Amino acid sequence: MKLGGYANRIGWVDLSAGKVEFKPVPEDDARKYIGGRGLGVKFVFDNGPKVDALSPDNVLCFMNGPLTGSEANMSGRMAVVTKSPLTGTVTDSHHGGWSAARLRWAGFDGLVFKGKAAKPTYAYIHDDKVELLDASEVWGKGVHETIKHFQAKYGEKDLSVITIGPAGENLVKFACWINEDDRASGRGGTGCVGGSKNLKAIVIKSGKNIVKAADRDKWKTAHTKALAEIMDERVVTSPRKGGLSVYGTNVLMNMTNVIGGLPAKNSQFTGFEGAEKISGEFVNANILVGNPTCHACPVACKKEVEVKDGPYAGLRMESIEYEPCWSVGANCGNDDVRVVAKMIHMCNDFGMDAIEIGHPLSVYMEASEKGYTNGDGKLAWGDGAAMVELAGKIARREGIGDVMANGANAVAAHFGHPELAMTCKGQGIPAYDPRGIKGMGLGYATSNRGACHLRGYTPAAEVVGNVLGPSTVADPLAWKGKGEMNMIFQNVHAVTDCLDLCKFSTFAESLDSFAAQYEAMTGIPSDAGHLLKVGERVYNLERHINNLNGFGEGSDQLPKRFTTEPSTMGGSKGHICELDDMLVEYYDKRGWVNGVVPESKLKELEII
Ligand code: SF4
């Protein structure tokens, strides 16, 4: 393959046979799906889209994009793509930090694991090689101890460790992968798939930066322009007076609360009286100790904190992000930021999705309040000590934790009240209430990986009011136009996930800017229209995979609470989410028939 950027090497690992095959990146697929999420989804499709998530036949893909490891802004992200044990859909989840760059510098565009190892195994990646080695010593260990073990064994310099914790080993359905920067490929249960394969960790010892642009002069121009866009952007960095650089993503807590877009106490309310005490501003003023960043990122949105008092005094952790903070905070009626820090830290150490865990907890809390728990005791809103204890029980699958480990739908069904689960396709909603931020409601329902804010981040326009270079502002309470808006956001974010760039880059960089960098790096002619077509292709292929797995007409739903129970407070008071109206508009724009991709569309996009 003559394309620039790519290492042109993918490691195909058969864990059952203990064998590794090395193949070049298929050029036709690279042109159509770029890399990262796109290539991973294509591999899932080619492997047989109906494979059960926990079958050895499922593939678990760790994928880079063609810009990964270069000096491209925010290019330190890696996609983990597979079938999800939580939702049954195809899923992808991306982590930041340095491990993606190191995989590229070790000579790889991706690793694809299939089969099941006979015993706990880790993959050691170095010098264009993949070695499969015995992980018995670290099986059962937490993420942080596992990482320290490999750092002691191989030296910290140039080393990345991506690992599962006990939750993945115990097949918790929302288990995840965490790396040495405490960055998670959090959603969808990709760590559970790792556990089902007896794959404990991927340890990467990187070599030199090998990324070469096809046209070095063009690359310099494109990169310089993109960097200027980021440094000049009010939400992301400039003038470093607010936004992500100062408060991290948790700057959203107070913003969503005011507009009636902050779901509280299992989404019974659209605002939380304790929001300020868990907000980015509060964290900044009271417990912030550092601002770490990812590879090639001038933003540094991570906020390292240290708990100063109380039972968790001395706990230092990275980082309090908005969505996990909401999940174990407002969603659980908890306004103690020390408990938030402890819970996120525990989730990282157990290797569990810190956004998802709030859902089985808040279902348990609402069921307790309403007297539905029968012999399973009670869990009070905001009971931090009990939440911490239950996190351990979930990871170990002990007692009620065994039910909770299967997700919110399982807990709600266990109590005989499935309506308590605030999920779409089995995955819990993130931190935006569909009654106060209506485009996000449509986004949850039509997300291909279950409820998700990152498929199409409409709050960029509906809450923050700035995306894709020039300002785009949308009324969060209007439903008209949200169908087309969601489609565009979903296609754009599919592109950044293929490249694989942090989504916050879309606050500042235009599609033309992405295209200029992609063209200079790979040598493939590109413009905004070309990239949007790739995004559309990826989104339609994912939807096609889901259609083949039984997600057909009527599958794009929201929990009834959002479409029937009016918002209780804030700017959205009295509103419901008009999902059905938005779906009509969305399907029309997509060219889908009630959520199903017709064959003609698959052919038009050259998917089949
Ligand atoms: S903006 Fe934040 S998450 Fe994105 S690359 Fe930078 S530090 Fe990482």
Show the 3-state SS of 388-445: HHHHHHHHHCCCHHHHHCCCHHHHHHHCCCHHHCCEECCEECCCCCCCCCHHHHHHHH
Task: Give the helix, strand, coil percentages of the chain, each rounded to 5.
Answer: 40, 15, 45
CA distance 98 to 101: 5
State the average pLDDT over residues 526-540.
98
Q: Is the pLDDT of residue 239 over 80?
A: no
- Name the residue type at position 524: I
- Ligand 1 atom nearest to CA at 97: 8
Q: pLDDT over 70 for what percent of the chain?
A: 97
My answer on whether omega of the bond before 185 falls inside 30° of 0, hence cis, is no
With a 6 Å cutoff on the Cβ, whether 294 touches ligand 1 is yes
SS3 297: coil
- Test site for ligand 1: of 302, 320, 453, 499, most ligand atoms within 8 A of the Cβ: 302
Measure 298 CA to ligand 1 centroid, in angstroms: 8
Q: What residue owns the CA closest to ligand 1's atom 8?
A: 294
Q: DSSP string spanning 468-491?
A: SSS-----TT--TTHHHHHHHHHH
With a 6 Å cutoff on the Cβ, whether 299 touches ligand 1 is yes
Measure 300 CA to ligand 1 centroid, in angstroms: 6
- Ligand 1 atom nearest to CA at 77: 5
pLDDT band at 468 (very low <50, low <70, confident <90, very high): very low
Angle formed by the axes of helices 438-446 and 579-590, nearest 10°:
60
- Ligand 1 atom nearest to CA at 292: 7
Q: How far is CA 476 from CA 107, 335, 401, 461, 575, in A?
A: 45, 26, 37, 8, 11
Contact 244, 504 (CB under 8 A): yes
Q: Please give the pLDDT value at position 464.
A: 82
Strand pairing category for 121-126 and 199-205: parallel
* Tokens standing for residue 184: 């998670």
Q: What residue owns the CA closest to ligand 1's atom 2?
A: 301
With a 6 Å cutoff on the Cβ, whether 288 touches ligand 1 is no
Q: Please give the pLDDT value at position 571.
A: 95
Contact 358, 331 (CB under 8 A): yes
Which of the residue ranges 116-120, 126-130, 199-203, 401-405 would you say has the lowest mean pLDDT? 126-130
Give pLDDT tens digits for 572-591: 999 999 999 999 999 999 99
Which of the residue ranges 189-193, 456-460, 595-599 would you say has the lowest mean pLDDT? 456-460
Q: Please give the pLDDT value at position 469.
A: 40
Contact 534, 494 (CB under 8 A): yes
With a 6 Å cutoff on the Cβ, whether 78 touches ligand 1 is no
pLDDT band at 234 (very low <50, low <70, confident <90, very high): low
Q: pLDDT over 90 for what percent of the chain?
A: 91
Q: How far is CA 390 from the centre of its chain?
A: 23
Residue written as token pair 């109906």: 50
Contact 477, 436 (CB under 8 A): yes
SS3 190: helix
Measure 30 CA to ligand 1 centroid, in angstroms: 25
Q: Please give the pLDDT value at position 242.
A: 64
Measure 187 CA to ligand 1 centroid, in angstroms: 17
Measure 303 CA to ligand 1 centroid, in angstroms: 11
My answer on whether omega of the bond before 120 falls inside 30° of 0, hence cis, is no
**Helical (H) or strand (E) element with 143:** helix 143-154
With a 6 Å cutoff on the Cβ, whether 300 touches ligand 1 is yes
Strand pairing category for 159-163 and 129-134: unpaired
- Ligand 1 atom nearest to CA at 298: 6
Residues whose CB falls within 8 Å of the CB of residue 432, separated by 6 or more in sequence, listed in order:
256, 261, 263, 440, 453, 459, 463
CB half-sphere exposure, 560, CA atoms < 13 A: 4
With a 6 Å cutoff on the Cβ, whether 507 touches ligand 1 is no
Q: What residue owns the CA closest to ligand 1's atom 4?
A: 502
Q: Please give the pLDDT value at position 210.
A: 78
With a 6 Å cutoff on the Cβ, whether 292 touches ligand 1 is no
Strand pairing category for 60-63 and 78-83: antiparallel
With a 6 Å cutoff on the Cβ, whether 302 touches ligand 1 is yes
Q: Please give the pLDDT value at position 73.
A: 93
- Ligand 1 atom nearest to CA at 244: 1
Helices H / strands E in the chain, number of each: 24, 17
CA nearest to 140, candidates 174, 161, 166: 166
Contact 92, 40 (CB under 8 A): yes
Residues whose CB falls within 8 Å of the CB of residue 592, separated by 6 or more in sequence, listed in order:
543, 598, 601
With a 6 Å cutoff on the Cβ, whether 230 touches ligand 1 is no
Q: Is the pLDDT of residue 470 over 90?
A: no
Q: Please give the pLDDT value at position 189.
A: 98
Residues whose CB falls within 8 Å of the CB of residue 118, separated by 6 or more in sequence, listed in order:
16, 198
∠ CA 59-154-203, nearest 5°, is 10
Contact 27, 73 (CB under 8 A): no
Residue written as token pair 């990122």: 297
With a 6 Å cutoff on the Cβ, whether 74 touches ligand 1 is yes
* Tokens standing for residue 115: 């089969």
**Sheet of 316-318, strand order:** 288-290, 304-306, 316-318
β-partners of residue 596 are 593
SS3 35: coil
φ and ψ at residue 358, rounded to 5 degrees:
-60, -25
With a 6 Å cutoff on the Cβ, whether 228 touches ligand 1 is no
Give pLDDT tens digits for 117-148: 999 999 999 999 999 999 999 999 999 999 99
Q: How far is CA 239 from the centre of its chain?
A: 28
- CB-based burial of residue 571 (10 Å sphere; 0-12 exposed, 13-18 middle, 19+ buried)? middle
With a 6 Å cutoff on the Cβ, whether 301 touches ligand 1 is yes
SS3 60: strand
Measure 253 CA to ligand 1 centroid, in angstroms: 18
φ and ψ at residue 450, rounded to 5 degrees:
85, 175
pLDDT band at 467 (very low <50, low <70, confident <90, very high): very low
Q: Please give the pLDDT value at position 466.
A: 52
Q: How far is CA 566 from CA 291, 556, 573, in A?
A: 39, 20, 7
Measure 247 CA to ligand 1 centroid, in angstroms: 13
β-partners of residue 205 are 126, 159
Q: Please give the pLDDT value at position 207.
A: 85
SS3 sequence of 543-606: HHHHHHCCCCCCCCCCCHHHHHCCCCCHHHCCCCCCHHHHHHHHHHHHCCECCECCHHHHHHCC
Q: Is the pLDDT of residue 197 over 80?
A: yes
Measure 179 CA to ligand 1 centroid, in angstroms: 15
Q: Please give the pLDDT value at position 208.
A: 84
CA distance 88 to 571: 36
**Helical (H) or strand (E) element with 244:** helix 243-247
Q: Is the pLDDT of residue 338 over 60?
A: yes
Measure 304 CA to ligand 1 centroid, in angstroms: 13
- Test site for ligand 1: of 504, 506, 509, most ligand atoms within 8 A of the Cβ: 504
Q: Please give the pLDDT value at position 318.
A: 87
- Test site for ligand 1: of 294, 323, 453, most ligand atoms within 8 A of the Cβ: 294
Q: What residue owns the CA closest to ligand 1's atom 5?
A: 74
Which of the residue ranges 199-208, 302-311, 471-480 would you say has the lowest mean pLDDT? 471-480
With a 6 Å cutoff on the Cβ, whether 504 touches ligand 1 is yes
- Ligand 1 atom nearest to CA at 300: 7
State the average pLDDT over residues 408-415.
98
With a 6 Å cutoff on the Cβ, whether 293 touches ligand 1 is yes
- Ligand 1 atom nearest to CA at 249: 2
- Ligand 1 atom nearest to CA at 502: 4
pLDDT band at 213 (very low <50, low <70, confident <90, very high): very high
Q: Please give the pLDDT value at position 1.
A: 64
Measure 598 CA to ligand 1 centroid, in angstroms: 37
Which of the residue ranges 204-213, 264-273, 378-387 would you say has the lowest mean pLDDT? 204-213
Q: Please give the pLDDT value at position 473.
A: 77
Q: Please give the pLDDT value at position 583.
A: 98
CA distance 76 to 297: 8
Q: Please give the pLDDT value at position 596.
A: 98
Q: Is the pLDDT of residue 180 over 70?
A: yes
Q: Is the pLDDT of residue 506 over 50?
A: yes
Average pLDDT across the chain, whole number: 95
Q: How far is CA 21 from the centre of its chain?
A: 29
Contact 77, 501 (CB under 8 A): yes
Contact 261, 570 (CB under 8 A): yes
Measure 509 CA to ligand 1 centroid, in angstroms: 14
